[in-house]
Structure 1
């Protein structure tokens, strides 16, 4: 699952990135409204966390443009504006949720999970399956025949990327983007290390994950 954070406070923005990445979400971020709109239109995001008071383009104008362009992304407004009319305006103009500052990170996480469960998001049943393997996107858990396998956040993101495209070759670039976003890069060697670790963990519960390395192209998982 990919989240775009558009928030002009660098301290809050970086805090959100660290917290959401720790939970296993892939994130992109910016503090500029115009840049945020460009990113939202050029890329695919499941959820956009949107501040209202932004430089170059305010959050309400950004939201209206997204809805006029029929963007399917769920938008969660995160704003210091806490009057009832502010919340009403945001929801009427197309936001899916509105959370006022200051806020609890646990509440933000819960609201993101709620948005995931609403119709219209990919994987709305909260889980992906390949054979006897199940990846639960809401609880961020991975099981084989109901036996739990502990994954790191990066390992989970790699499997989510592969499980969402079974029987198709997923490029190293797409895997890297799923793990660290558009503005960083995960090397081929690092991806291989993560996948080797996943395989070891699966073998420890007597399973065998059907991941194949298509050299020069990427990886595929057989359904």
Structure 2
């Protein structure tokens, strides 16, 4: 899961980034509304944490713009306590929820999980299954036939993406955007390295699941006999 934080309080943005990374989310943070809008338009994010009071462009305008453009990414507004009118306006323009500052870590994480569930996403605490394997995204564990291996974060994110797309081919470009970000300098060989790591771990577990290469396109998960 990839989350975009749009927050001009640098220390708060950094703290939120660390909190979410500890929960195994991938996180990008920007500090003004215009950059937030540009990033939101990329389509790679599963959720936006959007402050209302921002330089360049306020959060309500960002929200209104992405909803007008047909972008349905869940948005949780970060508001100052007491800004009732802004909360109502934000909800009217399509925000999924709001959290008033100061807020507790537990409350924020619960609201993120709820917003992702409403969208139909699999939140990190869940276990994803495909063929004879289970992926525990919270614990970064790959399980097969009562054996388990520890994954690193990028391996878990890659396998999660492949499982959630099921039989659809996942292009290398999409993998780079989801795992590293749309403005990343990561290249195809970065993807190939992590695909190789996962293949070796699936083979070690003697799983029937295979990562099949679709030449010049990307990868798809399959179950062999």
User: Shorter-chain TM-score: which interval?
Assistant: 0.7 to 0.9
* Partner Cα separation in structure 2 for residue 181 and residue 42 of structure 1: 9
Query: Secondary structure, in 3 states, of the residue corresponding to 1:134?
Result: strand
Aligned match of 1:193: 193
Query: Secondary structure, in 3 states, of the residue corresponding to 2:209?
Result: coil
Is 1:132 matched with 2:136? no
In structure 2, relative to structure 1, the CA distance for the partners of 1:4 and 1:191 (3 Å cut) is: same
Aligned match of 1:60: 60
Task: Say what the alpha-carbon RMSD is for the aligned residues.
Answer: 3.0
In structure 2, relative to structure 1, the CA distance for the partners of 1:209 and 1:186 (3 Å cut) is: farther
Query: Secondary structure, in 3 states, of the residue corresponding to 1:219?
Result: strand
Aligned match of 1:73: 73
Is 1:211 matched with 2:211? yes
In structure 2, relative to structure 1, the CA distance for the partners of 1:41 and 1:20 (3 Å cut) is: same
CA apart distance, 1:44: 4.4
Moved more, 53-62 or 90-99: 90-99
Q: Deviations over 1:38-93 (max 9, x none)?
A: 332342432110001111211122222333334321111123x1016254443344
CA apart distance, 1:164: 2.7
Aligned match of 1:164: 164
Moved more, 5-14 or 189-198: 189-198
Corresponding residue pairs, total: 220
* Partner Cα separation in structure 2 for residue 78 and residue 176 of structure 1: 28
Where does the alignment leave 5 or more consecutive residues of structure 2 unmatched? none
TM-score, normalised on structure 1? Answer: 0.80
* Partner Cα separation in structure 1 for residue 92 and residue 32 of structure 2: 23
More relative contact order, 1 or 2 (CA 8 Å, 6+ apart): 1
In structure 2, relative to structure 1, the CA distance for the partners of 1:189 and 1:134 (3 Å cut) is: same
Q: Is the 8 A contact 1:199 1:208 kept in 2?
A: no
Aligned match of 1:83: 82
Aligned match of 1:177: 177
Alignment of 1:136-147 (within 5 A): 142-145=142-145, 147=147
Where does the alignment leave 5 or more consecutive residues of structure 1 unmatched? none
Query: Secondary structure, in 3 states, of the residue corresponding to 1:164?
Result: helix
